[in-house]
Amino acid sequence: MSSWTNNPILTIEHLTMRFGGLVAIGDLSFNVGRGDITALIGPNGAGKTTVFNCVTGFYKPTEGRIVMHRSNKEKFLLERMPDFKISAKAKVARTFQNIRLFGGMTLLENLMVAQHNPLMLASGFTIGGIFGVASFHKAEKEAVDRARFWLDRIGLLERADAPAADLPYGDQRRLEIARAMCSGPELLCLDEPAAGLNPKESGELNSLLQYIRAEQGTSILLIEHDMSVVMEISDHVVVLDYGEKISDGTPEEVKNDPKVIAAYLGVPDEEVDLVEQEVGL
């Protein structure tokens, strides 16, 4: 049986999100398997980013439940939590469609900012930091070590003190993922990580994501339009169209699903065979 049925890390149950009269997500249910790379795909406007915004606390869903099952057996109802707690307690981190690094800060500083919460805690909310309390020094050293580990991992350790804005686009994308990893997530949500990357950068991204899954044990949920990335690295693919799930399975199953082909080609189901013949699929 599949990990998303057997051992889910995230369960989304009957999720609905309305914006006034517009139903962006309608009664959507799916699971994310623990240790899997799960891709959420679908045509433009299908509701993918809205799902991410509900999972990470940027939107409060109109209806439905989103449950995070942490490895220590704790359960969190994400639809009831503010975004900072979703990151700190439920251990869900995300990146955005548009890069949101602090361009004027160095690479190292960007990764230190991601660890602000544990550092504040260790400093007793500033006082301990000012007086040089040992626990703060220890936490600070661990934060620097973690930041350096991830810079090394993405091949940017030598540029630790350079401003983030000076990096090429592909490096900035990987730095964002490294920053999200510095918060120690169990589930990493990535919104179009391969957008705008050239084939070499796309290959580097794939290796990084496979490393995160295999060596760090972090589950990944990603929105992606680049089908080569989706087919190469995902274990599980969920397809949305007009806010509803139209397919859910392995990449192979989804690729051959007539409903998916119809949604992508924009033709009715009954005409799929004809269109496939015409385009040579």
Ligand X SMILES: Nc1ncnc2c1ncn2[C@@H]1O[C@H](COP(=O)(O)OP(=O)(O)OP(=O)(O)O)[C@@H](O)[C@H]1O
* Residue ranges binding ligand X (CB under 6 A): 19, 22, 24, 42, 44-50
In the complex, minimum distance from the CB of residue 56 to ligand X, in angstroms, rounded to a whole number: 13
Nearer to ligand X by C-beta: 133 or 227? Answer: 227
Residues 6+ apart with CB under 8 A from 70: 76, 90, 91, 186
Nearer to ligand X, 31 or 49 (CB): 49
Nearer to ligand X, 96 or 149 (CB): 96
| Closer to ligand X by Cβ: residue 45 or 103 | 45
Q: Which residues pair with 94 in a beta bridge?
A: 189
CA angle 34, 237, 199 (to 5 degrees): 105
Residue among 48 and 94 whose Cβ is closer to ligand X:
48
User: Looking at the chain, which runs of residues are DSSP E strands?
Assistant: 8-19, 22-33, 37-41, 63-69, 75-77, 92-94, 187-191, 219-223, 236-241, 244-249
CB-nearer residue toward ligand X: 22 or 279: 22
Q: Work out the number of other CB atoms within 10 angstroms of the CB of residue 268.
A: 8
Picking from 41, 19, 22, 21, the residue whose alpha carbon sits closest to that of residue 30 is: 41
Task: Give exposure, 68-105, as e/b (b: 16+ Cβ within 10 Å).
Answer: bbbeeeeebebbebeeeebbbebbbbbbeeebebeeee
Residue 46 C-beta: closest distance to ligand X, Å: 4
User: Least distance (Å) from ligand X to the CB of residue 47?
Assistant: 4
CB of 99 to ligand X, least distance (A): 15
* Cβ-proximal residues to 44 (8 Å cutoff; 6+ apart), any chain: none
Distance, in Å, from the CA atom of 109 to the CA atom of 130, rounded to the nearest integer, reads 19
Show the tokens assigned to 12.
């989304």
Q: Which is nearer to ligand X, 44 or 277 (CB)?
A: 44
Neighbours of 169 (CB within 10 A): 12
Q: How far is the CB of 241 from ligand X (least distance, A)?
A: 9
Backbone phi and psi for residue 99, each to the nearest 5 degrees, phi listed first? -60, 135
What is the C-alpha to C-alpha distance for residues 264 and 56, in angstroms, rounded to an integer? Answer: 27
Q: How far is the CB of 237 from ligand X (least distance, A)?
A: 14
Min dist. Cβ of residue 53 to ligand X (A):
7
